[in-house]
Structure 1
Amino acid sequence: MILELANQRVLVVGLGKSGVDCAIFLKDRGAQVTVSDAKP
């Protein structure tokens, strides 16, 4: 299955290893990714 995310806006909450990996995965597939974490 190919995940097509062009022009989709996604919020990733939490920037641990999984959050960063998820954000990169989504960005590579064309999503506009916004990330947020409790610790600045």
Structure 2
Amino acid sequence: MLTQIVTAARRNRDTLASDALGIASLMVMLVAGLHLPVLS
């Protein structure tokens, strides 16, 4: 099972990087959105 995960990660390296960037940007927007009511 571990070899399958490693193989899938190696095949989709570009996709994993863009997905990680998308997740990070969503988290930044979530945190910023939750802090907006505090700032006003």
Which TM bucket (shorter chain)? 0.3 to 0.5
TM-score in terms of structure 2 length: 0.38
Structure 1 or 2: more strand by fraction = 1
Structure 1 or 2: more helix by fraction = 2
Relative contact order, higher structure (CA 8 A, sep 6+): 1
Q: Larger Cα Rg: Structure 1 or Structure 2? A: 2
TM-score in terms of structure 1 length: 0.38
